Structure 1
Amino acid sequence: MKFAISYNTAYYGVDPEEVVAFARHAEDCGFEALYLPEHIVLYPGAMFGPYEIPPSLPYVDPLDCLSFVAAATRRILLGTGVLLLPYHHPVILAKRLATIDVLSGGRMRLLTVGLGTLPGEAHAMGVDFTGRGRRADEAIDVLRLLWGGGEEGVSFEGEFFSFDRLVSFPKPSGVTHLPIHVGGSSRAAARRAGRRGDGYFPGGALGPEERAVQLEIARSAAVEAGRDPEALEYTRWGSMDMTAERVEELAAQGVTRVVVNPTAADPEGRREEMSAFAERFALSR
């Protein structure tokens, strides 16, 4: 089992010194990766399920923040949980992600993409909310095409994106394409993960039966697409106080990675939580 940690500036704040201290402590503790979430814009009345999202929450751009973290760390992998893929143009995104990967020494390896749940956010970005799934599918294909293309250029003709003989350098460091994990809490997300993803990272508000169904959907979709279902990584959210028995339960369900969120209100308390978690699971050994 691999263990990663999430830093949410909406709740922890955007103090650059604290961001760096958190990332370095996570690295020293032995966490595999640091994840950041994304919201591009919020607005009064935006809802996440039954909860209204305070519109002033300071969500930073996750890729810019991960670049900042990469410059201050040495080993920890960089992840998003989730990047709202339909709201990014894949030609620009391919360049940004490859740049971060190269400059970080090959650490932009846990990109997780999702569709977003706020209609107003889609509207602000000029994206049809009902078509964002198809747009995300195309974007994944475009990213991989650009990363894998050579000096002769690559072409694409789709519903949302089209281009002829584009060349995109630099390439990701030492790989044909960066891994793309798919996040979401729907069966459509599970199918997308199986058809196109390198991993599946479902949301937290699902019951055990639905989780099992979605994992099977992802694996079946991988088989139908001619892909190896056993190669699909399976990431889940966990808690800072989770026990070894709980980790064993998750492993039995096929989980390969757990991402946790510190809950302390102050920076020192969060670092103490991280240290205790790392000691409990011997992360730095």
Structure 2
Amino acid sequence: MKFAISYSTADGIDPDHLVAYARHAEHCGFEGLYLPEHIVLYPGARVGLFEFPPALPYPDPLDCLAFVAAATERILLGTAVLLLPYHHPVVLAKRLATIDVLSKGRMRLLTVGLGTLPGEARATGVDFGTRGRRTDEAIEVLRLLWEGDEKGVSFDGEFFGFDDLTSYPKPHGATHLPIHVGGSSRAAARRAGRHGDGYFPGGALPLEERASQWELARTTAADAGRDPGALEYTRWGSIDMSAEQVEDFAAQGVTRIVVSPTTTEPEQQRDEMSAFAQRFSLPRAR
């Protein structure tokens, strides 16, 4: 089992705190650090019963991860989730590859999702109803550009099109970056099976639905001629979870657990991270 940690910007973005948090997570032995994304918010924006405070700070996750990369040595960099339909994949391919090169191959926990706020789609000029198809196409474009050589690559799709493009630099020592798919729906599970390197479901899903979605991701991968055994399965966990709970996750096929501190107080956050690392004997940095 792999263990990663997320970083919340709910109380604002403090560069010193972000660096200290990332360095301590790395020292404790956490595999990766995840940041969320919202490009814009607005009064009345909500997901289910939760309404976003309009002033809730969401800094750009890729800029934050590049900042973290410069202050750390080995922790992997992740998003949960990057709202892919609101990014142009030609520009995004360059940004992600650049972070990966500068971090010496650590931009490896990219998780993408569709987004749930219609106003966010309108603000970026995206038809909310097409964001699923747009995401599928964007994943194709990202991989095509990363894998293309000096002869260039071409694409003719519903949303994106170009001829004979080259995109450099390439990811560090790899043909492409892993792309995990986030979401809480069967459509997301199918997308993970067709296009993803892993599935990262969120939300308070019933156990049976979680199992059904994971099986759907695997069967969709097999039907698409892909290896279902190569899919990673990431889930949210709690920082106070027990060894028995981790064993239960493993029995469900989970390969990575992402946890979050229960407090925004820096010293207590460090204590919670240290206690978790000790409980599960994470490989501490020297």
TM-score by structure 1 length? 0.99
Deviation at 1:117, TM superposition (A): 0.3
Q: Which amino acid aligns with 1:28?
A: H
Deviation at 1:93, TM superposition (A): 0.2
Deviation at 1:48, TM superposition (A): 1.3
Deviation at 1:202, TM superposition (A): 0.1
Measured in 1, the distance between the counterparts of 2:199 and 2:159 equals: 24
Measured in 1, the distance between the counterparts of 2:263 and 2:89 equals: 36
Measured in 1, the distance between the counterparts of 2:253 and 2:96 equals: 28
Measured in 2, the distance between the counterparts of 1:2 and 1:122 equals: 34
Please tell me whether residue 180 in structure 1 is matched to residue 152 in structure 2: no
Please tell me whether residue 199 in structure 1 is matched to residue 191 in structure 2: no
User: Which residue is 1:18 aligned to?
Assistant: 17
Deviation at 1:10, TM superposition (A): 2.2
What secondary structure sits across from 1:96 in the alignment?
helix
Measured in 2, the distance between the counterparts of 1:119 and 1:201 equals: 22
**CA offsets, 1:69-126, max 9 Å, x none?**
0000000000000000000000000000000000000000000000000000000000
Deviation at 1:64, TM superposition (A): 0.2
User: Which residue is 2:64 aligned to?
Assistant: 65
User: Which residue is 2:235 aligned to?
Assistant: 236
1:32-51 aligned within 5 A: 32-51=31-50
Q: Which amino acid aligns with 2:192?
A: A
User: Which residue is 1:112 aligned to?
Assistant: 111
Measured in 2, the distance between the counterparts of 1:35 and 1:121 equals: 21
Deviation at 1:205, TM superposition (A): 1.3
Deviation at 1:284, TM superposition (A): 2.4
Q: Which amino acid aligns with 2:15?
A: P
**CA offsets, 1:137-195, max 9 Å, x none?**
00000000000000000000000000000000000001110000000000000000000
User: Which residue is 1:2 aligned to?
Assistant: 2
Measured in 1, the distance between the counterparts of 2:48 and 2:181 equals: 20
What secondary structure sits across from 2:68 in the alignment?
helix
Deviation beyond 6 Å, 4+ runs, structure 1: none
Gaps of 5+ in 1: none
User: Which residue is 2:86 aligned to?
Assistant: 87
1:100-139 aligned within 5 A: 100-139=99-138
Q: Which amino acid aligns with 2:276?
A: F
Deviation at 1:8, TM superposition (A): 1.4
Measured in 2, the distance between the counterparts of 1:138 and 1:253 equals: 30
Measured in 2, the distance between the counterparts of 1:91 and 1:265 equals: 36
Measured in 2, the distance between the counterparts of 1:284 and 1:187 equals: 35
Percent of pairs identical after alignment?
Answer: 77
Q: Which amino acid aligns with 1:9?
A: T
Measured in 2, the distance between the counterparts of 1:27 and 1:223 equals: 36
Deviation at 1:54, TM superposition (A): 0.5
Deviation at 1:265, TM superposition (A): 2.7
What secondary structure sits across from 1:155 in the alignment?
strand
What secondary structure sits across from 1:211 in the alignment?
helix
What secondary structure sits across from 1:101 in the alignment?
helix
What secondary structure sits across from 1:82 in the alignment?
strand
Measured in 2, the distance between the counterparts of 1:151 and 1:10 equals: 43
Deviation at 1:204, TM superposition (A): 2.8
Superposed CA RMSD in Å reads: 0.6
What secondary structure sits across from 1:192 in the alignment?
helix
User: Which residue is 2:158 aligned to?
Assistant: 159
Deviates more, 1:99-108 or 1:44-53: 44-53
What secondary structure sits across from 2:10 in the alignment?
helix
Deviation at 1:51, TM superposition (A): 1.2
Please tell me whether residue 215 in structure 1 is matched to residue 214 in structure 2: yes
User: Which residue is 1:98 aligned to?
Assistant: 97
